[in-house]
């Protein structure tokens, strides 16, 4: 699809989630993204099922995990451990604008495909290297996985009930955020190249991203000198800002200012709370949460969730239901915004979640489904000038698929 990055060529040598997430975002924005995969196994996530989207008429079955991060790409299956495979990728990099990779530090150097080698041949090239811990430092040699990084980077210490085990998030959020930061770095490097004429080597690490995205909690610790406690579904700096049980379910209440709290107090039948010095300001409510929150919780138990949500909405008090994912995709706002998509591929419909960016009212979501392993190899190799005989020879040798 055309888009703001139309004409930009990206080689995506990454696997799993952080790098592929960046590659998919760049594809959604209009870049041509060529996914480089091993001919035998492909991206690791091709095997990360169930659940699977079954193939039709001999088409490859696809793991749901793989489908979440590879829309809009072409797949070239090539063995980087072979000299012929290295030569092919090197030639592609000569004409590319961006390379995404998440090999261990030094892993591509033995193939002559590291950032220094590729940029020596093509100074305009930007290489974005995504690792667990960065290109230098005492942990640089280690592999990094989202779960481990959430633990090491402090996120788990903030997540979970106060008297329970520290918890990870339900989504590999550090990988996703790393993909977003990688994309920002790539866009900045491409913008700079317009004046400098040269690319950059971008070093983005999961641990760095996790620490950087601790946001207010990081500053809570740095300002106070005290490690934040876990608050479960409550907020460390705002009250009431948490989940509450109702007579038949749960809702989330997010009171962001004192005027909203006054309206809440009136709705719950206790307008005097808004005048009580113990509750009138957010700072007071934070200091007295142990007194106030049980009173609010008691009030919410008297009616059903949906009844409360109607009343809260009518009074401009921010609140929402705790939805399952099936409820999310059935939500009228989610349906209206077109966040659920289906892309046709090999006689089947591939579910997708749309890119949230819109340009002039149009969704920036590629209409090309995630590719089967090596589905574009022949076309890409022919485009590079290889003859049918050359392609057949490489396939017989196991260099490409």
Catalytic (active-site) positions: 175
CA distances from 399 to 39, 192, 307 (A): 7, 36, 63
Helix (H, G, I), strand (E, B) or coil at 343: strand
Where does residue 10 rank: exposed (0-12), middle (13-18), buried (19+ CB within 10 A)?
buried
- The residue written with tokens 């490409």 in the block is 400
| Euclidean distance between CA atoms 235 and 246, whole angstroms | 19
Contact residues for 268 (Cβ-Cβ < 8 A; gap 6+)? 296, 299, 300
Half-sphere exposure of 108 (CA within 13 A, CB side): 23
The count of residues in the chain is: 401
Per DSSP, the residues of 50-66 read SSEE--STTPPPEEHHH
Residue pair 255/261 in contact (Cβ under 8 Å)? The answer is: yes
Half-sphere exposure of 127 (CA within 13 A, CB side): 23
Residue pair 21/180 in contact (Cβ under 8 Å)? The answer is: yes
- How many Cβ atoms are within 10 Å of 324's Cβ, its own excluded? 9
- The residue written with tokens 């000569």 in the block is 94
Picking from 247, 260, 245, the residue whose alpha carbon sits closest to that of residue 322 is: 245
Per DSSP, the residues of 146-177 read HHHHHHHTTHHHHSS-TTS-----SS-HHHHH
β partners of residue 250: 245
Q: How many whole angstroms from its chain centre is CA 67?
A: 13
């Amino acid at each position: 699809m055309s888009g703001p990055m139309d004409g930009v060529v990206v080689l995506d040598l990454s696997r799993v989630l952080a790098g592929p997430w960046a590659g998919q975002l760049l594809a959604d924005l209009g870049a041509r993204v060529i996914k480089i995969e091993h001919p035998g196994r492909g991206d690791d996530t091709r095997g990360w099922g169930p659940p699977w989207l079954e193939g039709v008429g001999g088409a490859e079955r696809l793991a749901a995990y793989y489908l979440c991060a590879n829309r809009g790409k072409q797949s070239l299956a090539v063995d980087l451990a072979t000299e012929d495979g290295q030569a092919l990728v090197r030639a592609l990099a000569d004409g590319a604008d961006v390379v995404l990779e998440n090999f261990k530090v030094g892993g591509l150097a033995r193939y002559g495909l590291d950032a220094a080698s590729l940029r020596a041949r093509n100074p305009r090239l930007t290489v974005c290297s995504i690792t667990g811990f960065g290109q230098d430092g005492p942990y640089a040699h280690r592999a990094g996985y989202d779960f481990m990084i959430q633990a090491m980077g402090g996120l788990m210490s903030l997540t979970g009930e106060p008297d329970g085990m520290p918890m990870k998030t339900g989504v590999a959020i550090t990988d996703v955020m790393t993909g977003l930061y990688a994309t920002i770095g790539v866009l900045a490097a491409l913008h700079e190249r317009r004046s400098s004429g040269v690319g950059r080597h971008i070093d983005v690490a999961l641990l760095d991203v996790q620490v950087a995205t601790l946001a207010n909690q990081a500053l809570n610790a740095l300002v106070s000198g005290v490690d934040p406690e876990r608050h479960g579904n409550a907020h460390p700096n705002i009250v009431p800002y948490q989940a509450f049980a109702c007579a038949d379910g749960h809702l989330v209440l997010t009171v962001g200012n004192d005027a909203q709290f006054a309206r809440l107090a009136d709705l719950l039948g206790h307008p005097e709370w808004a005048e009580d010095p113990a509750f009138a300001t957010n700072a007071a409510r934070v200091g007295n949460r142990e007194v106030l929150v049980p009173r609010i919780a008691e009030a919410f138990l008297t009616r059903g969730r949906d009844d409360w949500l109607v009343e809260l909405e009518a009074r401009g008090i921010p609140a929402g239901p705790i939805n399952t994912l099936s409820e999310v995709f059935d939500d009228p706002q989610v349906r209206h915004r077109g966040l659920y998509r289906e892309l046709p591929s090999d006689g089947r419909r591939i579910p997708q979640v749309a890119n949230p960016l819109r340009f002039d009212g149009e969704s920036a979501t590629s209409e090309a489904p995630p590719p089967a392993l090596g589905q574009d190899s022949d076309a890409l190799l022919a485009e590079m000038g290889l003859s049918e005989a050359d392609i057949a020879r490489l396939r017989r040798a196991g260099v490409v698929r």
